[in-house]
Structure 1
Amino acid sequence: MMTALRLLPVILLLSAAPLAAQTPQLAPDWAYPDTPTHHQVAPPPDFHRQPTTEMKSIGAFDGQTDVGSAVVPGSSSYDPATRSYRITSAGYNVWYTRDEFRYLWKKMSGDVSLAADIAYPDPNGYGDRKAVLVIRQSLDDDSKEAVAALHGAGMIHIAWRSDPGVRVKDMEYRIGSRGGLPGGKSPDSLVPAIAKRIGIEKHGDEFQLYVSLFGEPMHAWGAPITLHLDGPFYVGIGFCAHLPDKLDTAILSNVVVENRAGKVR
């Protein structure tokens, strides 16, 4: 007579994902850029981080600040031989009602001319990353400001925040032979050639964007915007990776920063 055998079930406990893939997000969910399953939105109205400032001069600038204190600290260096600033930063955006970016600045009053050549060493960075020329009232993340920017994908814009905590408005320029270009992109065939140099001029309460598309002399681009800033205010250059927890780098060179209008070149 054969003895019956009872087969006990073997239970395998499988985790929903490998442990390495369960690393928690460093930044809030709203701060991450658009993907097929996620849309970046404005931060909550009461969300702010205090700036992190190094009172250490660098080139023409008197201080360096992580405006909005991104979850990964930024850094900057200056090469006097090439007169170039290397700015490394994370940061979800310079947009909406608050900003996160690495900012090299000096205090000024009155009229200002500010310009720079811009290059991105990593060709694979996020397309909406922004090298910026910024004139702002304070170092707070929601400060009044005027911003000229060159995006990684080639778009140029001039933007402004009219009061603390107010959402940014802007005028955007996508360079190409036909309209309807999506998102922040300029045509791939033109991106290597266009807008290597941008500038912004403050003349009283008017701020004018300047552009050199193909190496020609700088010229005014689009209409000026109007914004009142009380002196002294902050004037400088910066960079935002558009990734809240990952660093990227921009190089800004041949920088003009003068305490008078009419000197963008």
Structure 2
Amino acid sequence: MNFKFLLFCISILQMSFAQENAIGIFQNNKDIGNPKLAGSASYDDATQTYMIKGAGYNIWGQRDEHRYLFNKIKGDFIVTANFEFEGYNEVHRKIGWMARATKADDAVMAGGFLHGDGLMTGQWRERKGAEMRNPENNVAAEKRFQQIIQLERQGNLFIVRTAHPGEPLQEISSKELPYMPEEALTGVVISSHDVDKIETAKVWNVRIDQPVADSYNPYKDGWIGCRMETMNVFDGKRKVILEKDGRFEAPNWMPDGKDLLFNMDGSLYTIPISGGETKKLNTGFADKINNDHCISFDGKMLGISYKDGKGSNVFVLPLSGGEPKAITTEAPSYLHGWSANNKEVVYVAQRDGNKIYNIYKKSIKGGLEIKLTNNKKLEHVDGCEYSPDGKYIYYNGSKNGGTMQLWRMKPDGSNKEQLTFDQYNNWFPHISPDGKWLAFISFNPDIELNSHPNYKQVMLRLMPVSGGAPKVIAYMYGGQGTLNVNSWSPDSKHIAFVSNSKK
């Protein structure tokens, strides 16, 4: 046989084997430790959900047995997913995230696991062949068999966080592992803790993010990858519909409910909500549009913020496309909302050389702008948006150097009322079309004063307009551009947003 032809056949077989093992976003799908009963996994592309089955005596002691879906990841990462056992069984079965040095059953490893009895814990094996260890502060999951688990790598430090659905993530373990190689095998895992039984779990909202350094400057170093996602806000299930190296931002849901409108490369594009071909919207001369675009309540008009040579100014045009009309001529002015009667726009701006931002409104037919806030030094406002009934303008604001919180006021600027009072920096309140819900993005307390930076661990949260405690609906790596504009679906059940990850 021809030697080159033989090599070709071998390479084809190797490619076929690799393709058989790959599943979803994971390049590897196999058992570790040679369990008595073989595991398996399946992936539903429509829901982007994994079903993973596995046996094995345990993930403990000096060696492990489990089913493993994993990728080789070099450097730092943040991996997050929802995990849920199938069926009721309080034995010591485990599901969760893991990072391993090798495929050897006694490899250095770190992970976070939900157990069959509801226990949540972090675990690690510091050296090859060493005994497994875990911290003393294990967290009981109150017999709940669904959990959000996150594993983060920062150099040699491995951090496990967990949360019940709707709650912020809490750190439950952290451990330095100097013998973990720079490239680790990282993925989702299941073990039955019973060599004669196969257990099953469902895993969804699986996200593998590779963060950038705190010193990273996207304007100098370039923009990392983006994902366009949609989510049902009531069950928390997310779906990625577009991925790209580079930058896109700020999706709106189009009035027909079939497409999203988003900003990319200074222009606006549409994409079907299920993914597919992107189409450029005709915005005439406006080819330097930022991510502050919004659609009028009647679905006929589009507002944009365009860099017109003076800086950012507010323009309007038909949603079907056309030449923009200038509403403001004094920069900087950043659009955020339409009035419920579709006759005015509301925006934030700096005026008279003052570096402080305030909220203004102005008729799209012209006339004088009306100032609605009067901020002092260290105070800031953004994200102003009318409620669908026209009774309020919602916005985010800070007072006297404090955290950013959500507020609302009457359309004339009176009766300012604070809505959130927590430790997070809350930005961009968006009201659902039925007027019942507020979706917004929350940054951790340690960000720079009055900032909403790129590339941070953030939460999307939901709260009733009538009042009540916010609940977490998504955990992600993102920030600026994630949720800057109103992205509610017309049926008030879904939102769209952008998350980030270094490729």
Match of 1:27 in 2: none
Instruction: Tell me if structure 2 keeps the 8 A contact 1:89–1:101.
Output: yes
Pick the aligned partner of 1:140 from 82, 97, 104.
104
Structure 1 counterpart of 2:169, which letter? M
Residues 89-117 of structure 1: CA deviation (Å, up to 9, x unaligned)? 11000000000000001001110111111
> How many angstroms apart in 1 are the aligned matches of 2:162 and 2:53?
23
Within the alignment, does 1:191 sit opposite 2:191 as a pair? no
Structure 2, unaligned runs of 5 or more: 1-16, 213-455, 458-474, 477-503
Query: Does the CA contact (< 8 Å) of 2:85 and 2:146 recur in 1?
Result: no
Q: How well do the aligned residues superpose, as a CA RMSD in angstroms? A: 2.0
Structure 1's consecutive aligned runs of 4 or more residues displaced over 2 angstroms after TM superposition are 172-175, 259-265
The answer for the alignment partner of 1:154 in structure 2 is 118
Matches within 5 A, 1:151-230: 151-171=115-135, 173-175=137-139, 186=140, 190-192=142-144, 196-219=147-170, 221-228=171-178, 229-230=180-181
Residues of 1 paired with 2:193 and 2:136: CA distance? 17
In the alignment, structure 1 residue 84 sits paired with structure 2 residue 61: no
Highest RCO, 1 vs 2 (Cα 8 Å, sep ≥ 6): 1
**Whole-Å separation in 2 of the counterparts to 1:100 and 1:226:** 23
**How big is each residue's C-alpha offset from its partner over 1:65-98, in whole Å with a ceiling of 9 and x where there is no partner?**
2000101111001112222111111100000000
Secondary structure of the residue that 1:141 maps to in structure 2? coil
Looking at structure 2, the residues matched to 240 and 206 of structure 1 have their Cα atoms a distance apart, in angstroms, of 24
Report 1:19-38 matches (<5 A). none
What's the counterpart of residue 380 of structure 2? none
Relative to 1, partners in 2 of residues 1:95 and 1:223: Cα closer, same or farther, differing over 3 Å?
A: closer
Aligned to 1:243: 194
The separation in 1 between residues aligned to 2:121 and 2:137, in whole angstroms, is 6
Gaps of 5+ in 1: 1-53, 176-185
Contact 1:110 1:260 in 2 (8 A): no
Q: How does 1:33-112 map to 2 (within 5 A)?
A: 55=18, 56-112=21-77
Q: Which amino acid in structure 2 is aligned with residue 60 of structure 1?
A: I
Partners of 1:118 and 1:131 within 8 A in 2: yes
Residue identity over aligned pairs, in percent, reads 30
Tell me if structure 2 keeps the 8 A contact 1:158–1:172. no
Contact (CA 8 Å) 2:102, 2:185: kept in 1 or not? yes
Residue by residue, what CA displacement relative to the aligned partner does 1:48-75 show, whole Å, maximum 9, x if unpaired? Answer: xxxxxx6321111101120001011110
Larger relative strand fraction: 2
Moved more, 91-100 or 229-238: 229-238
Q: Tell me how far 1:218 sits from its aligned partner.
A: 2.4
Contact 1:195 1:211 in 2 (8 A): no
**What is the DSSP-based 3-state SS (H/G/I as helix, E as strand, rest coil) of the residue aligned with 2:135?**
strand
Q: Following the alignment from structure 2 to structure 1, what is the Cα–Cα distance between the partners of residues 75 and 55?
A: 31
Distance 1:209 1:93 in 2: 19
Asked whether the equivalents of residues 84 and 146 of structure 2 are also in contact (C-alpha less than 8 Å), the reply is no
The SS at the match of 2:86 is: coil
